[in-house]
Structure 1
Amino acid sequence: MPQPSRATDATHRVVPTPAGRIHLVEQGAGPLVLLVHGFPESWYSWRRQLPVLAAAGYRAVAIDVRGYGRSSKPADVTAYRMLDLVEDNVAVVHALGERTAVVVGHDWGSTIAANSALLRPDVFRAVGLLSVPYAPRGGPRPSEVFASMGGEEEFYVSYFQEPGRAEAEIEPDVRGWLAGFYAAFSADTMPAPGAPDPHFVSRGGTLRDRFPTGGLPAWLSEADLDVYAGEFERTGLSGALGRYRCMDQDWEDLAGFDGAPVTQPSLFLGGALDASTTWLAAAIDAYPTTLPGLRSLHVLDGCGHWIQQERTEEVNHHLTDWLASLPT
């Protein structure tokens, strides 16, 4: 078990990877914990975990995934396939002078973390998943699954998969769109039961049509929103949305891993009010088979999607307890 230490200030670095470069923020010394964000976020989503992990005796490193922030943003949409994102994570570990790491992800970062552990068990010795459960590759082509959802309405993933379409909605008012998107999936601001579901788009409509119109969620200050908006106003959204546009490619690339379990020691944290947790309840139920190394599972009552920001203290507690249980 690492020894608690006085946390040093966070530092920013850029390291070479197959993407070209990955920007990261690191704090602390000790065993490496790699933190991978989701959509539409950045390294900043882990701002409340970095100092806590550092104080607990870990070298905590939060990256900007390729396509985000100060990391490289390839123009070719196929550059956002899962195989490439896993290799970025491996390259970050090696660029930091380490051989192994614990990888923890939220949202899309959870899927990237799980696949990093699946494809490179030699590098990633344990995996933490936040909000999005692990579900092995299998079943029909993803685009076909998403196209079948919603009846007369369109599922948001299908909406995001069409190049340029979501950008046309988001980029004229990045800050306002992000505020609505974060609020739509936060426990304290999400639409009431029975209201139109913001995961779906009316034919001819936009996602924004269903965003709540009240204030920001409690976890998000105006200054926090400025940070997120500033990054996407500078980079645009195409890089971030590239992940959605490679899902069929991933399905083909990972055919050899159909049904494969992730066997390393693992953790899952979800929000009870998060559709990622409730819609994928069967994936959680399958963990004895698909995630046999699971050591810690907690679904937080009254919590939405942005779990490490909505419920910082609980998430930090569960993370540090789980990390302390791992062999070094």
Structure 2
Amino acid sequence: MSQPTELTELEPTHRLVDVPGGRIHLVEQGTGPLVLLLHGFPESWRAWRRQLPALAAAGYRAVALDLRGYGGSSQPAAVADCRMLAHVADDVAVVRALGEETAIVVGHDVGASIAANSALLRPDVFTAVGLLGVPYTPRGGPRPTDAFAQIGGDEQFYVSWFQEPGVAEAEIERDVRGWLAGFYAALSADTMGAAGGAYAFVPPGRAMRDRFPAGALPAWLSPDELDGSAQEFEETGFAGALARYRNFDRDWEDLAAWDGAPIRQPSLFIGGALDPSTTWMADAIAAFPATLPGLVSSHLLDGCGHWLQQERPDEVNRLLLDWLGSLAAR
């Protein structure tokens, strides 16, 4: 194959595909086994811009979605339209729309939870699952809203704060670019400072952004990239993105039949050692032998924050490709 043809095949392509709930915008690059990439909050397909070409060059069909409620994908008419079951249905519909029967699914942050549940509920479609940033936690325990309300004492845990309709939108949408810059900085290793996860607790009468670090952008985020993300959220608003957090109780009810259920497909976990998620959810990571019996490898990246595939793209790409190669060898 000539070099120009190879380069053409590796160019990213934007597409809209129909799903039962509307449409999903996606960006695909490369040919080969299908790998779905699911972003977290508050991001878009752009979160995988450093993985798409690496996976394509290695012989995979890499497809990064805008989750429903984000970017070019459909905006939900109601909060319940962003329940976990709807996201899983989107993932299955995307696989079918791309002419495939099965896929490997990889997610980061809330995308990791969606990837995990896609693998749990549809093992016939999703043959392996990679989780970045947020470990798999089976359904169980008390109702999520009750559990989150016990965290933080007099201060409100960010998940509870996100769950209140209109409250987070009112803060964020006054200055979308500035809020995004602060949120990204609060969870990035090079800009979070000594405060660590302090951003996640909102004192009475205060704003979440009051505890964001001030100063430079994280090294992985250029002003132009920030502008692109801010423009997308200026157009869509944040209600669709925040709806994921507002469905946690509904998901708990919907998934009752899978209480405590493990994911048995081959899996991968990568976390940042400085990401508060890896300390808040240390018990979930420790439980992997029971909850992820098909785990191939688990990695905590020293000196890395929450946005690991952007903070450490080369290292994450290597780990992803090593894992994907191990699947092919099975």
TM-score by length of 1: 0.97
Give the counterpart of 1:110 among 86, 92, 112.
112
Give the counterpart of 1:159 among 146, 158, 161.
161
Summarize deviations over 1:239-277 as a string: whole Å, max 9, x none.
000000000000000000000000000000000000111
SS where residue 269 of structure 1 aligns? strand
- The answer to whether structure 1 residue 215 and structure 2 residue 177 are counterparts is no
Summarize deviations over 1:211-232 as a string: whole Å, max 9, x none.
0011100000001101110100
Equivalent residues of 2:197, 2:276 under 8 A apart: no
Summarize deviations over 1:74-111 as a string: whole Å, max 9, x none.
12000000000000000000000000000000000000
Aligned-partner Cα distance in 2 for 1:268–1:276 = 13
Aligned-partner Cα distance in 2 for 1:196–1:40 = 17
Partner of 1:40: 42
Partner of 2:193: 191
Equivalent residues of 2:193, 2:213 under 8 A apart: yes
Partner of 2:250: 249
Aligned-partner Cα distance in 1 for 2:173–2:49 = 25
Equivalent residues of 1:82, 1:112 under 8 A apart: yes
Letter in 1 for 2:174: P
Give the counterpart of 1:61 among 63, 85, 105.
63
Partner of 1:91: 93
Q: After the TM superposition, which of the residue ranges 265-274 and 195-204 deviates more from structure 2? A: 195-204
Shift of residue 327, structure 1, vs aligned partner: 3.5
Equivalent residues of 1:196, 1:210 under 8 A apart: no
Letter in 1 for 2:16: V
Task: Give every structure 1 segment of 4 or more consecutive aligned residues whose post-TM-superposition deviation is greater than 2 Å.
Answer: none
SS where residue 198 of structure 2 aligns? coil
Partner of 1:128: 130
Comparing both structures, which one devotes a greater share of its residues to helix? 2
SS where residue 172 of structure 1 aligns? coil
* Unmatched segments (≥5 aa) in structure 2: 1-5
Shift of residue 128, structure 1, vs aligned partner: 0.1
Partner of 1:13: 15
Aligned-partner Cα distance in 1 for 2:186–2:259 = 33
Summarize deviations over 1:109-145 as a string: whole Å, max 9, x none.
0000000000000000000000000010000000001
Aligned-partner Cα distance in 1 for 2:201–2:228 = 27
SS where residue 168 of structure 1 aligns? helix
Equivalent residues of 1:272, 1:304 under 8 A apart: yes
Shift of residue 196, structure 1, vs aligned partner: 7.8
Partner of 1:176: 178
Aligned-partner Cα distance in 2 for 1:279–1:245 = 20
Aligned-partner Cα distance in 1 for 2:77–2:243 = 9
Partner of 2:265: 264
SS where residue 194 of structure 2 aligns? coil
Summarize deviations over 1:139-181 as a string: whole Å, max 9, x none.
0000001111000100000000001100000001100000000
TM-score by length of 2: 0.96
Shift of residue 206, structure 1, vs aligned partner: 1.0
Equivalent residues of 1:126, 1:266 under 8 A apart: yes
Aligned-partner Cα distance in 1 for 2:208–2:26 = 31
- The answer to whether structure 1 residue 237 and structure 2 residue 238 are counterparts is yes
Aligned-partner Cα distance in 2 for 1:31–1:103 = 11
Summarize deviations over 1:5-47 as a string: whole Å, max 9, x none.
7651000000000220000000000000000001000000000
Calculate percent identity across the aligned residue pairs.
Answer: 70
Letter in 2 for 1:42: S
Summarize deviations over 1:180-230 as a string: whole Å, max 9, x none.
00000000100314x781011011111101000111000000011011101
SS where residue 119 of structure 2 aligns? helix
Partner of 1:51: 53
Aligned-partner Cα distance in 1 for 2:21–2:185 = 31
SS where residue 69 of structure 1 aligns? coil
Partner of 1:294: 295
- The answer to whether structure 1 residue 228 and structure 2 residue 223 are counterparts is no
SS where residue 74 of structure 1 aligns? coil
SS where residue 59 of structure 2 aligns? coil
Equivalent residues of 1:191, 1:197 under 8 A apart: no
- Aligned residue-pair number: 323
Aligned-partner Cα distance in 1 for 2:328–2:253 = 35
